A and B are shown apart, each in its own frame.
Chain A
Amino acid sequence: MDYNERMEKILEKVQKAPRYTGGEMNTTIKRWEECPLHFGFCFPDTYEVGMSHLGMKILYGLINREPWSLCERFFMPWTDMIELMKAEELPLLSMESRRPLSDFDVIGFTLQYEMSYSNILAMMDLGGVPLENKDRGENDPIVVAGGPCAFNPEPLADFIDAFMIGDGEDVMTELNRVILERKEKGLTRAECLRNLAALEGVYVPSLYDVEYDDSGVITAFRPNCGEAPAVIRKRVVTDLNQTYYPEEIPVPYTEVVFDRIMLEIMRGCTRGCRFCQAGMLYRPVRERSMEKLIDLAEKLYRSTGYEEISLSSLSSGDYSCLPELIRELMRRLKDQRVSISLPSLRIDSVLKESLEETQQVKKTSLTFAPEAGTQRMRDVINKGVTEEDLLEKVRDAFEGGWSSVKLYFMDGLPTETTEDLDGIADLARKVVEEYFRVPKEKRAKGLRVTVSASTFVPKPFTPFQWDAQNTIPEIIGKQDHLKKVLNIKGVHFNWHEPYLSFLEACFARGDRRIGAVLKRAYEKGCILDGWTETFRFDTWMEAFRECGLDPAFYANRVRDPEEILPWDHIDSGITKAFLLREKKKSEQALTTKDCRQGCNGCGLQRWKGVCGYANAGSV
């Protein structure tokens, strides 16, 4: 029986078969024999999560656009599917032509969050690809990875052949050309990897050696061959209007997490929130022009028929002509009944006018992210938002007919005290008061204030990269306190258990040695860790013990500023000197201004013409 028939047999038994069927609108099935380079794009989570991801759609279109390369998608199967596949001895197959992962020349994983790492191992294992790069032979695919977590590639150094650091559109085609060259010229795997290492923004971990002291701190990190640069500089797309953006995106049959057109209006953020890794990694801020966005929106509507467009970026409220953009999009797409949504609305954006326009089509709940409960704490994290700002925007929203508001906070931030936690409850209470201040006949019924608190995870390339995460008992104590003080009428409190955040902290700042824990945990059955029903914390802790590593070394240890950090060989554009200055300021609760008000000298000013707000003379 061929793969197709065996797959059909399994699909009769599996739950949620539409995840695995493929054949969606705007997917591309190119002829295998006519394309010399075969790229398997792997999203290490379920179909519903992966199909919500914009980056995959960009690279899928980009690779398929080239006549010489084809791209097919792979997703992480759910546990029931894995069992059926093993029983039928069916390998992980692509969504398009149902070919096994091992048939592809190059397979690429997108690293969106650390808790998908075990899925990477599972997908390679199911796909017949040796897990560790040292075990791969001449006929095995080259395994690459990119995305935000690639900025600390070390926990995956044993498993990934080459990492792409920075904007994927910029490096993808070059990387594919090098791999195609290997195929055409019959180069060895080792030669190909050295050629990849010579590309700017590509990191090949096997070409570097690491030394540690007895405590596990790195004492030396250096390349072991001439092609490998000592420092790998991230790739940056300088002009979003010139770079590739898909005009057709796959439209799933079944509902996925974000089932809509995602229009990336800009990349990067000038705010400089100190906890926010994305805000640091995606610098500098780059906008797409209004003309380009309107053109893309119309084309994407015509190719997908979607009912909703979301304007996506780290801080959409900062887009320089947002009200005009929204007004124009609405004018052009109103007859088609397309609604516009703003997913990451910042509370200090001038948006009252735009808010009134979005509700014209659809009224959803409004989300605000004050992140911390007191002004002192917000100053520590450089979240430039005041209580007055928040309450004013909330008032506008309630007067505009909204009755549902979500507030996002973090617990476990550096220097946090009980007073800061109480501040979260105070803020929630004031939001409730604002609602009741609006005359009854003017406000919408059914007030619902949802307060969500997530546990802070210190991340590389942020000013908190040296800080300790709170221990699990500390976090549980804080959450218990929040539960008590947030028992307010009209307020609903959401929190997550701290175990996953603890593990996330271990891998976010992990070194090469932690790869052994990942492998061991996978062998012991850990997969789909991001899902509560499959997350097995105790098994993870056993894996740490069996590998002789202490998770607290990674999560709860304060690092010395002199220490060689596992990601020091990656140049994200931001310098360590800037991060240290920011760290010192945060300790004194001093804020740093938005880059738009003047250059803060984060490091990007070193690269000519990259950042529009850079001033080379700044310190």
Chain B
Amino acid sequence: MRMLGVFEKGERIRHIGHLDIQRSFQRGLRRSGLPVAYSNGFNPHILITFASALSTGACGRREILDVTMASGVSEAEFLERMNRAMPPELQLSAARAVDDRHPSLMGMLCAASYEIVLRDPDCAEKLIPAIPAMMAKESVTATRKTKTAVKECDIRPLIYVLEGSGQSIFATLALTEREACKPGMLMEALSREAGLDREIRTLVIRKELLGKDEEGKLVPLEQL
């Protein structure tokens, strides 16, 4: 049996990297006393995966972890014991028991919705009006940095929703194993569109991880 846990990565610890978050959950699972399964081999480790690594600097409202259990445990007990074992910045809001044959979350992930809070004054009034023009374009170029190179790519087909209100931009962006539009890429393109030629201070909040249901509609990943 596997347990999917929906958790929040709080703002205070948004600079903690994915590997450290992973280790925190492994230790949390050990503290919880829950019957988790370990890998075989020389250095056994807890069988835990994450639907998607969250970038350093971003917070997440509904991130998802996937733990293989060694024996059965109820969703309520999993939730209760994990929340006692995790610090306030990494609390779970939901748990769902799934069969071992449940497809991998990473494979089902299609997109993510974000709130991008604009932290520089006067940015919103320039950026938000530029959204319709950018969305009307057939292609929008942005640069994607990999470990070895900087590549140009067209992000327009990867933007599903883009709107703004108040001091925030709301976006739903493609996020699969093959292609993704990172919030940074979006912001780069949007600020160019708005004629702002400087880097903008933002707080990126990943609100939801999304997959596609039978009708091809984007729905929360943990519900699939």
Question: Taking beta carbons and an 8 Å cutoff, which residues of A are in contact with B?
Answer: 8-9, 11-12, 17-18, 21-27, 251, 253-255, 301-307, 336-337
Contacts and interface: CB of A to CB of B under 8 A. Distances in A.
A592 to B, nearest CB: 45
B87 A23 contact: yes
A336 B24 contact: no
Interface of B: 10-13, 15-17, 20-21, 23-24, 26-31, 33, 38, 44, 57, 85-89, 119, 201
Contacts of B17: 18
B110 to A, nearest CB: 29
A contact patch SS: loop
Contact of B13 (A26, A253, A306, A336): A253
Given A23-B10, A303-B31, A305-B26, A254 B87 contact: no
Given A337-B38, A337-B44, A305 B86 contact: no
A12 B57 contact: yes
A304 B85 CA distance: 9
A11 B87 contact: no
B67 to A, nearest CB: 14
A467 B75 CA distance: 68
A118 B28 CA distance: 38
Contacts, number: 63
B contact patch SS: helix
Nearest to B86: A25
B27 A18 contact: no
B86 A21 contact: no
B24 A253 contact: yes
A18 B30 contact: no
Contacts of B15: 11, 17-18, 21
Given A12-B201, A253-B13, A253-B16, A25 B24 contact: yes
Contacts of A304: 27, 31
B87 A306 contact: no
A87 to B, nearest CB: 15
Contacts of A22: 12
B12 A305 contact: no
A305 B28 contact: yes
Contacts of A25: 24, 27-28, 31, 86-87
Given A12-B57, A12-B201, A24 B87 contact: yes
Given A12-B57, A337-B44, 12 more contacts: A9-B201, A17-B15, A18-B15, A18-B16, A22-B12, A23-B13, A24-B87, A25-B24, A25-B27, A25-B28, A305-B26, A307-B27
Nearest to B16: A253
Contacts of B44: 337
Contacts of A23: 10, 12-13, 87-89
